[in-house]
């Protein structure tokens, strides 16, 4: 019997090994180094690095407790405020614009177009529109006697940042839900209509259960994405006013780029990696909990 050459046997596994290498090099290795540096006083000079144990973590939750607690709270509100409208509005738009008519295609293009503009473009555009002195939004509010500082307002700043992020990424969730709806066999709907099912019953008993995979994907990516967001916030408010829009990733970014009193005392990079390690653990736990809850919810349908 003809035997395959050794190279042909090895080549079958090359894509697998390539994927493992890329995942390890770009994810596992940085995560490991981040953990290693978090227990040192590393300040950028590899020749002067010392092991200090958990001092960075202890100081993070003692001397800097107020700032980290605030950033954790802002991150939680920002995540919940982003995930819920992104998925509810995305699903609603996918259902309403499901048919392949010219009108629905235009709606899809309009909703998805902000996602391809880029964070800087979207952020600068909305910052100009929401400018309290020259922006058109506040000019309109002043005409009706409701002028506001908008992004500079202590109460409105975070909701406005959430609104901009939802506006930017709504097209992604709508697209995934649209693909999920189109994958459902139309004969199932026809049978339900023949049996006398209403539109709401068809959606609740057929569409929604069959959309569970799409819902899982959207909820996972919108949750993880919101927990890691800092770029659009930097462009819009840079974490202000008074840290009202400073999420944990933005807090880490500030430490790594500008430093702080505590960071400069114990190593700017090392302190930043300690906080980013905490953030990494929180994101992984949130993703795991969300996955378990959603899988249980999926099995109940």
Map out the domains of the chain with their CATH numbers: 66-299 (1.10.3720.10)
All residue ranges of the chain with pLDDT < 70 are 1-9, 258-268, 297-301
Q: How many helices (H) and strands (E) does the chain have?
A: 17, 0
pTM of the model: 0.85
* DSSP state string for 130-184: T-TTT-HHHHHHHHTT----GGG-TTTHHHHHHHHHHHHHHHHHHHHHHHHHHTS
Rounded to the nearest angstrom, the gap between the alpha carbon of residue 188 and the centroid of all alpha carbons in its chain is: 34
Read off the DSSP letter of residue 206: I
Neighbours of 260 (CB within 10 A): 16
Give the Cα separation of 252 and 277 in Å (integer).
10
For residue 204, the SS3 value is helix
For residue 40, the SS3 value is strand
Give the Cα separation of 35 and 79 in Å (integer).
25
Phi then psi for residue 40, to 5 deg, are -130, 180
Per-residue pLDDT at 266: 43
**Residue 256's closest CA among 237, 233, 276?**
276
Give just the sign of the alpha carbon dihedral 161, 165, 168, 170.
negative
Per-residue pLDDT at 232: 94
């Amino acid at each position: 019997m003809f035997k395959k050459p050794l190279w042909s046997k090895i080549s079958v596994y090359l894509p697998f090994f390539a994927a493992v290498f890329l995942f390890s090099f770009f994810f596992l290795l940085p995560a490991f180094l981040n953990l290693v540096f978090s227990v040192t006083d590393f300040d950028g000079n590899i020749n002067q690095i010392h092991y200090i144990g958990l001092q960075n973590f202890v100081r993070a939750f003692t001397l800097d407790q107020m700032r980290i607690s605030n950033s954790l709270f802002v991150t939680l509100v920002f995540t919940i405020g982003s995930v819920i409208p992104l998925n509810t509005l995305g699903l609603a738009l996918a259902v309403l614009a499901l048919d392949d008519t010219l009108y629905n295609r235009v709606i899809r293009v309009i909703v998805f177009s902000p996602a391809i503009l880029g964070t800087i473009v979207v952020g600068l555009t909305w910052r100009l529109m929401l400018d309290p002195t020259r922006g058109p939004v506040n000019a309109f509010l002043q005409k009706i006697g409701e002028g506001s500082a908008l992004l500079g307002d202590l109460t409105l700043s975070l909701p406005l940042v959430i609104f901009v992020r939802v506006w930017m990424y709504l097209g992604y969730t709508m697209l995934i839900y649209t693909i999920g709806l189109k994958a459902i066999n139309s004969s199932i709907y026809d049978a339900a209509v023949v049996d006398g099912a209403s539109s709401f019953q068809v959606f609740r008993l057929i569409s929604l259960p069959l959309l569970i995979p799409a819902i899982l994907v959207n909820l996972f990516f919108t949750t993880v994405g919101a927990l890691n967001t800092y770029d659009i916030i930097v462009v819009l408010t840079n974490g202000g006013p008074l840290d009202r829009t400073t999420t944990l990733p933005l807090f880490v970014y500030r430490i790594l780029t500008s430093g702080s009193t505590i960071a400069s005392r114990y190593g700017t990079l090392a302190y930043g990696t300690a906080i980013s390690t905490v953030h990494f653990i929180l994101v992984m736990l949130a993703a795991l909990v969300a996955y378990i809850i959603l899988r249980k919810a999926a099995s109940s349908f």
